[in-house]
Amino acid sequence: MAEHKDMNKWRELAIKELKGKPLDTIFWQTPEGITVKPIYTWEDLEGLDFINTLSGMAPYLRGPTATMYTNQPWTIRQYAGFATAKESNEFYRKSLAAGQTGLSVAFDLATHRGYDSDHPRVAGDVGKAGVAIDSVEDMKILFDQIPLDKVSVSMTMNGAVLPILAGYIVAAEEQGVKQEQLSGTIQNDILKEFLTRNTYIYPPRPSMRIVSDVISYCSKHMPKYNTVSISGYHIMEAGANSVIEVAFTLADGKEYIRAALDAGLKIDDFAPRLSFFFGVGMNFFMEIAKLRAARYLWHKIVSEFNPQNPRSTVLRTHVQTSGWSLTEQDPYNNIIRTTIEALAAVLGGTQSLHTNSFDEAISLPTPFSARIARNTQLIIREESQVCHVVDPLGGSYYVEALTGAIIREAQKIMDEIESLGGMARAIETGMPKMLIEESAARRQARIDQGKDIIVGVNKYQIEEEVPVQVLEVPSTVREEQIARLKELKAKRDNEAVKRALEKITEVAEKGGNLLEVTIEAIRLRATVGEVSEAMEKVFGRYVAPQKLITGVYASEYGENGVIENIRQRTEAFKNKTGRRPRILITKMGQDGHDRGMKVVASAYADLGFDVDLSPMFQTPEEAAKMAVENDVHVVGVSSLAAGHKVLVPMLIEELKKMGGEDIIVIVGGIIPPPDYEFLYAHGVKGIYGPGTPITESATQVLKLLEEKYIP
């Protein structure tokens, strides 16, 4: 590259090769607003203060340990859990035997939201998107024949963190494993739930108290266990670009530090056991630079609190490949996407990794797809030879410059959050959620226009669908769980359980450590739902306000004939019927992933529809009542958690009971193709899977409305 050292000479060469085209056609503007040049030199590294640092040394940009994978490869985890504890346990034991080195437990949505399986609000959720856990008896089955003193266990749990962590502790005790022997991570990142995933239970303030109680208890009794996994993954999946993901994730972490300090802990008591959880998407070098930038910024943040232990300032992270980047169309392409993302995570220096299965845009992963996902990591580790060099991209002009750009842009957002009083206060203003939703809407508009290419979706489409085996969780899972609950309550000492639950309520109201009293209740066989309800008596159950972002989707399109055509049709519908087409967009059940519904709602409003956005976690009855009372033409159901075969037919029946039988019902999200005929047979008029352009779905909905209401 010697001839390119002089940038002016390179520009002259480039202009000749472009044959008269303007030079700016080869400059790229990323979604983060970072301009990427076609060539980088040593000049782009001027002013960067981390160029001469090494791995294992502050600010840890090149890796948290000196030798990285040359001494110890990353932990291979597969985030998994489905149906019953027994089935999940069988899957875990096979995975460990096949080379997996740690467990990562996925719980069903009923458990996340602190409901037992017999609660009427979870009819379509039990065992569908994770394993159903109602008590320590389920937890004991989940870890049967898995030595918890040797196997690291990561648990993605936030809202119901107290009964779930207590259940894990008691299950280990009854296996003969002491608390101080347990290793792994509990996510315990409630701020992220208010930002994106929405599987919260209590309002923000008592939720933050629970976080600090967990940190406090585990710091004393579980020194090997990570007490918070601060998650950027769900922020990314909700639509945030890399800069926003880094800024919000680290700002969340800073808020947890303050909460723990306010609870009386010292920074070195807990900071070494904080860990992170990032996502990686398809912008390969951006994702590598993101992880490096996050380590640099975290060191800077923690240093503000004057730690004495150097490990307090080290960012250690788990990484998961993107679920959002997976496509329903031509799904075997997802294997390639996951491989690229996994390699980015490794080159970025992750400490553990989960690789998504190729079929997760269609259904729950099958054993076949999960094996491919796990082997993706094994092949990278064993065959690619990337483990022999620490931070092999260190010194790359492009990677280092990109790392510096992310550091600068993320710092600007974090400074704004600090000016608002920290992340908890910023969340109350709505600023973080708005930025994420705007980013998601812009991204969707670029995809729908074909500006951002997704192979098999908006370019290089195949004509015939590729058949994929689908894993379906039977409805009998809920019946089995209910039967187990009845048996548990018949055998336990119910008076002792009642006293233990009353103690939890008392501690919630008057003070004390909530994890400590929850462990006592779980030992007596109190259930997840009972423990959650005991605190709900004091804290209440949080209901988040819903806001609709408008103007962003259309503005990203600019002048576009497709947008204008749809707007003309919605206006014509108004002129002929007296009002605009009105749609209620709702999520039923306990699924909190709202990216899809928010983006669709925003886009439909920009296209000229009147849009009603329901509260989260509706029952079919509540959704039908809202639809009838608001006199909508259409109900659009967003489904990502496999509850559609239960909840959608219930919604249609409720609409009929309330006089809304003329309301059109459509469904969008992750719907396995074999379920299409089932939904159509029950009265659904349109189904729009992942990758469907919003303009296409809106056009089809308008056609349904015109056929129904315009002669």
Q: Give the three-state DSSP class for 276.
A: strand
- What residues have CB less than 8 Å from 667, skipping those under 6 apart? 636, 637, 639, 644, 648, 679, 684, 686, 687, 688
Residue 213: phi and psi, rounded to 5, are -65, -40
| Burial environment of residue 560 by CB neighbours within 10 A (0 to 12, 13 to 18, 19 or more) | middle
Closest to 366 (Cα-Cα) out of 448, 464, 478, 470: 470
CB contact at 8 A, 388 and 70: yes
| Residues noted as catalytic | 79, 233-234, 587, 591, 593
Name, in order, each residue with C-beta under 8 angstroms of 75's C-beta and a sequence gap of 6 or more: 101, 102, 152, 318, 351, 352, 353
Q: Please, are residues 3 and 9 in contact by the beta-carbon 8 Å criterion?
A: yes
For residue 141, the one-letter residue type is I
Phi, then psi, of 638 in degrees rounded to 5: -95, 125
Q: CA 312 to CA 2: how far, in whole Å?
A: 43
Sheet containing strand 153-155, strands side by side? 225-226, 184-186, 153-155, 102-105, 75-80, 352-354, 317-321, 274-280, 228-231
Spacing of C-alpha 80 from chain mean position: 14
For residue 397, give both structure tokens.
């002009």
What does the DSSP 8-state code read for residue 607?
A: T
C-alpha radius of gyration, the chain, whole number? 26
| Number of DSSP helices (H) and strands (E) in the chain, helices first | 27, 16
364: closest CA among 447, 477, 240? Answer: 477
Answer yes or no: are the C-beta atoms of 538 and 508 closer than 8 Å: yes
